[in-house]
Structure 1
Amino acid sequence: TRDGWLPLHYVARYHGGCTGSLSFLLSMAPGTHSAVTGAGWAAAHHMCRYGTTPEALATILTPQAAMQPTPSGYLPLHLVCRYRGGDVALLTRTLEANPMAAGEGTQEG
């Protein structure tokens, strides 16, 4: 689309806990784990901001995707902490993908 949204982005944003759909789309378009929209957000960013399950996040969050910032500098871990901070399972899953994310800051400081 003109705004760069792939079907994967729509599922991640609006149905982030749907592991089957995410897995199917990734099987049909391998290598799109880190594809970004026109706004610079990958599927993992949408899931960590708007909601997901640890199992669904595991299908999309590669070590590279875990270190991919938004244009504002937010990693998926930052979004989990800011919007899903009470969800220890999501925090754990995000750090398992790439423990180095814990030491990264954002542009906000």
Structure 2
Amino acid sequence: MPGNEGPGNKGTNSLVLAILAPASMILTAPASMFAMLMTYSDDGSSSRRWVTPLVLFSLPVLFASLALRLALPALKVSPRKSANWTAAAVALCICGLIFALALGPALANLGLF
């Protein structure tokens, strides 16, 4: 029985996971609002400012990292301009957007942004 030769549907699968990443923010948004209510005081200060972005981006970053793990081998093995290669490239663009969105609050909490 042959091994895992070729990319298979890794490009398409990575695109599906990459689309699920921003869509999963709909699920984590209410939980992050609840986390904000529980961690911030009435005057607006908090020693745990990192909790809300962590809750908001936990599921999207998980989906984006899984999509990234599938997209990179699909880009290496697939012929350029094939449907699999294009889907993997689009997935990488969406993953980059998700990682950039998650990096903003992380850098802001560190005082670098």
Settle same-fold status: TM greater than 0.5: no
Bigger Rg, which one: 2
TM-score (norm 2): 0.29
Higher relative helix content: 2
